[in-house]
């Protein structure tokens, strides 16, 4: 992958997981492989864990958290780790779904938080002229280890061209 400077597709392990081995690493990890279900980064020096796995939302939604973690742990034990992997969580995203709420700037002050940092996200609106072509789609409160985001996921997915959540909703 590094020589060709292009991702190389390979099947990895006993429990075949087709992955694209990327030609470059990710953050401090020199090796990075992507699949439809997970991202796997390998080989970071201390103090980082030697293996980093990020589960994709669609995978978590289709399997459920317990089954997804069990499958990832089993795959790591069989194909990556010499011993049973010790898993930890570096980030956890929680969400709740609301129907019919279209955030406005007036809503921003309705959220109370102890955080000093508060941001407003804006996304382009298809139905407005360029001069008026931005509307609020959500808010961010806090930063770092403790942070909350309230936003219009449907608008975000539409801008990305992502369709999988409709099957879950």
Q: Which two tokens stand for residue 154?
A: 């449907």
Q: Which tokens sit at 80?
A: 């990556």
Q: What is the pLDDT of residue 19?
A: 80
- State residue 1's pLDDT score: 67
* 47 vs 97, higher pLDDT: 47
**Residue of 5 and 112 predicted with greater confidence:** 5
- pLDDT tens column, 68-96: 999 999 888 888 888 888 888 887 777 66
**Where is pLDDT greater, at 138 or 57?**
57
Predicted confidence (pLDDT) at residue 129 exceeds the cutoff of 70: no
Of residues 69, 102, 101, 98, the one with CA closest to residue 86:
69
pLDDT digits (tens, 9 = 90+) for 38-58: 999 999 999 999 999 999 888
**Nearest-CA neighbor of 37 among 167, 124, 131, 164?**
164
- Mean pLDDT value of segment 132-159: 68
If one compares 100 and 28, the residue with the highest pLDDT of the two is 28
The answer to whether 47 and 63 have CB atoms below 8 angstroms apart is no
Any idea which residue has 């399997």 for tokens? Answer: 63
The per-residue pLDDT of the chain, averaged, comes to 75
**pLDDT recorded at residue 100:** 74
């Amino acid at each position: 992958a590094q020589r060709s400077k292009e991702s190389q597709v390979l099947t990895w392990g006993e429990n075949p997981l087709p992955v694209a081995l990327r030609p470059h690493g990710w953050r401090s990890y020199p090796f990075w492989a992507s699949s439809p279900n997970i991202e796997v980064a390998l080989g970071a020096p201390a103090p980082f864990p030697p293996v980093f796995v990020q589960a994709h939302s669609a995978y978590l939604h289709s399997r459920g958290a317990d089954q997804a973690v069990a499958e990832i742990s089993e795959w790591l034990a069989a194909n990556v780790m010499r011993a049973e992997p010790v898993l930890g969580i570096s980030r956890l995203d929680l969400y709740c779904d609301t129907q019919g709420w279209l955030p406005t700037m007036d809503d921003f002050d309705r959220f109370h938080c102890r955080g000093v940092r508060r941001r407003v996200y804006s996304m382009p609106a298809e139905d407005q002229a360029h001069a008026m072509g931005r509307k609020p789609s959500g808010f961010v409160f806090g930063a770092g280890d403790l942070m909350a985001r309230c936003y219009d996921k449907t608008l975000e997915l539409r801008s990305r061209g992502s369709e999988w959540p409709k099957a879950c909703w």
